[in-house]
A and B are shown apart, each in its own frame.
Chain A
C-alpha cells in the first residue's frame, strides 16, 4: 500500500511538474525522429545525456561502451552515460515515478494513456510506420512515444546439417512439404525430426504464436477478429489457418516423426541435442536461436526458418518489438535533441541488433544472417485490439479455457496425446475447441460474425 501511495504521489508530482515543460517542448525546437539526418544534423551539438537500460550483460562486457565510442566519432560533443539495471522491469517503474532517471530509458510497463506524461513524442505513427517496424506498441492517439530496440520473429529453429543429410535442398513452405521433409529426416538420418518439448509445457503453448499472422496472413486476426469468429478452427482446405497449423503437430505425432518418449523431454537437454545434430527442428521463437547456437560446438549448423505455411503464395512472419527507447519529456531541449539523435543512431547505424541476432527496427536496416531465409517473407506484427475490446481476447481465453498465447499448454499437449494414442481424431479436437469457443462467446455475450 505504502509503495502504491508513493508511486501515486510521485506520479502526481511529475504530472504537475511536467505541465509547463510539456507545453514549452511543443513550442521549442526538438526535432522528431524523421527530421534528423544522421551525420549531417546536430554534429556540433554539446550535451550530456544518460541512458538507462536493462542489458547489464552488455554493460559489463563493454559492448555498450564500444557503441558509445562509435557514436562519438560522429557526434564528439554528445557524451553518453549509461546505467544497466538488473531488475529492470520493477526498478525502472520506480525510477520513472521519481523523475530522476536520465534522458533515455527502455519504456517499462505503463498505461499507454500516461505516455505523454513521461516521454517525448517521436512523431506521427503513420509516418514512422512507413520507415520502421513494430511501431504500434507504444503509441497513443496516433503519436509514437517509443522506438523498439529491435524485434523478435517467430519461426522454426532447425539444424542445417541434418536437413542437408536428409536430402532437403529447399526449406519447406507448406504443411505438406514440412511433413514430407520430416519424413525424409526420419528415413535418412538418426536425428529426431521434430522435437516437441511436450514435458516442458510452455514450449507446446508456443505453437499458438503462429495463429494469426502466420497461419492466416492477417495481422488483425488475433486481436480483432478471432474473438468474434463463429468458426475459427474450420478447415480452409488449402493448408492455412489454425486448423492447418495444429494439424502439422497432429500429423507429425501420428506418423512417428517426433521423439520416442514425449513425456520425458528435457528442455535444457534439447539445446545440446539440436546443436549436435540429434534433432532436426523445433518450433520456437527467434529468442531461442542464440541459446541453441551457444549450447555446443556446432553452432554454425543451427538455422532459423519461417514457419511452413503459405497464404496465397506469401509466407508471413509474425514479429514483435522488444523494449522501446523512450526519451524523457522533462529534459532540456538540448538533451532531448541529443537523445533523439542517439536513438536514431542506435536504430539505424549502430548495428546492435545484428550482434544480438535480432530483427532490425528500421525497414532498410541490416538483419543478422540467421534471418536470410526470411527475406522473401512478409513481416507483420499483430494489430492491437479495437478500442473498448482490449480485454475481450483475454476473457474469451479464460472462459473457453483454451488460453491462446496465454499458457494454454494443455490443449496443445492434448493434440500430441490424441495423435499418439489415437484416442481422438484431429477433427474431433477442432470441433471440441469450436464448441468451447462458441460457448464462451455465448456466456460473455460476444457479437459473433461469420
Chain B
C-alpha cells in the first residue's frame, strides 16, 4: 500500500480519504480484532508454553533452564508413551463411529418414517456437556445399575456379566463406547448434509441402470462426500490421540485408563511439573501433525483416480454428465 501511495505521490492524509485508503482502513479494522484475539489467546500462550518446555518450573517460584531434558524425560518415562497405546482403543472406536455414522446417514438421507425424529435423537448426545455424560455413564456402568439391568432384560445373568469399569481388559472399551455414543450423531449430521448435496437425479439414473442401493452408495455417495469423510476421519483420529473427558470424569484416569491427556493433566496440575507437561504437549502436537500428514498421503493414494489428482477428470466428467443427460432424456421419452 505504501508503494502505491509513493507511486501516486499522494500525501497520506489524502490517500487515507481516498477509496483505496478507505478500503485498506476498513480491511485492517475488521481484521485486527479477530487477529488480535487469535494472537492473544492462541499463538501467545502457545509460544509461552513452548518456552516453558525448556524449563524445570512450577507455577510459582523460580525457573531453571534445562534445555532438552524435559523432552528426553517424556521419552524415558513409561507412563507417557504407554498412555499413547490407549489411543489405539479410541482410534478403533472412531472407525466404528464413522462407519456407523455413515451407514445411518445414508439410510436417513433417503425417505424414512420419522427420519427427522431419529436424526434428532441421535444428534442429541452431542449437545450434552461432556462432564455430564461422564457422570451419566458412571452410573450406567455401575454394577447392577442401568446397563446390567438392560442386559438382564435381554436374558443375560448378572453373574456372567463383566464389571465394565473394574476389569482392566474391557474398561477402555467401555470408555470408548461413551465417546462413540456422544460423537456419532454429530458425524452423522455432517454426512447427511454432504449427502443432501448429491444430485438426486444421479440415483434415479443409477437405479435405471440396475444399480442396487449398495452400488449407489459405493459409486455415487461415497465419492461425492469424500472431502467430508476425510475431514471426519482426521478429526476423529486426532481426537482419539487427545482423548480426555471420558477417562478423566468416569475413572479419573485410574485403573489403567489414563490416556496421554490425563497423564499430562496430572503432571501439570497435581505434580506441578509445568515444564515436563509442556514438553508432552509439544510432542503430542508433533504426533498429531504427523498423523494428519500420513492420513492425507493415505487418502491421496487410495483415491488416486479421483478427479482432483487427474487432469483429464474434468473432460471425463463432462462426458459422463452428457451421457447421463442423454440417457435420462431417452428414459423420459420412453415413459
Contact = CB atoms under 8 A, between A and B. Distances in A.
Size range of the chain B interface in the assembly = 20 to 34
A198 B138 contact: no
Interface in A175-208: 198-199, 201
Contact of A403 (B139, B251, B252, B271): B271
B204 to A, nearest CB: 53
A351 B252 CA distance: 42
B252 A201 contact: yes
Nearest to B254: A413
B270 A407 contact: yes
Interface stretch (A221-229, A256-264, A299-307, A339-347): A256-264
A403 B254 contact: no
24 contacts: A199-B138, A199-B251, A199-B254, A261-B143, A262-B166, A263-B163, A263-B165, A263-B254, A263-B255, A264-B138, A264-B141, A264-B166, A266-B142, A397-B271, A398-B272, A398-B273, A401-B270, A401-B271, A403-B270, A406-B270, A408-B270, A413-B254, A417-B168, A417-B255
A421 interface: yes
Contacts of B251: 199, 263
B254 A261 contact: no
A263 B171 contact: yes
Contacts of A263: 163, 165-166, 171, 251, 254-255
B256 interface: yes
A417 B253 CA distance: 12
A410 interface: yes
A410 B254 contact: yes
Interface in A384-437: 391, 397-398, 401, 403, 406-410, 413-414, 417, 420-421
Contact of B142 (A261, A403, A408, A420): A261
Interface in B212-260: 251-256
B205 interface: no
Interface residues of A, number: 24
Nearest to A205: B270
A262 B61 CA distance: 38
A402 B74 CA distance: 18
Interface string A27-55: 00000000000000000000000000000
Contacts of B266: 410
B253 A264 contact: no
B168 A421 contact: yes
Given A260-B143, A263-B255, A264-B166, 16 more contacts: A199-B252, A201-B252, A201-B254, A261-B163, A261-B166, A262-B166, A263-B165, A263-B171, A264-B141, A264-B145, A398-B58, A401-B270, A401-B273, A403-B270, A410-B266, A421-B168
A263 B141 CA distance: 10
B165 A261 contact: yes
Binding site secondary structure of chain B: loop
Interface centre among A261, A406, A408, A421, by most chain B C-beta atoms within 10 angstroms, is A261
A125 to B, nearest CB: 29
Interface string B153-173: 000000000010110100100
Contacts of A401: 267, 270-271, 273
Nearest to B263: A410
A264 B142 contact: yes
B83 to A, nearest CB: 13
Contacts of B58: 398
Interface in A318-334: none
Nearest to B266: A410
Interface in B285-328: none
Given A263-B171, A264-B142, A398 B271 contact: yes
A417 B165 contact: no
A256 to B, nearest CB: 13
Q: In the A-B complex, list the 3 residue pairs whose CB atoms are closest, starting with the nearest.
A: A264-B142, A263-B165, A261-B143
Contact of B254 (A198, A397, A408): A198
Most buried by A among B143, B165, B271: B271
B169 to A, nearest CB: 10
B186 to A, nearest CB: 27
A409 B258 CA distance: 13
A341 to B, nearest CB: 41
A299 B255 CA distance: 34
Contact of A413 (B142, B165, B166, B255): B255
A198 B139 CA distance: 15
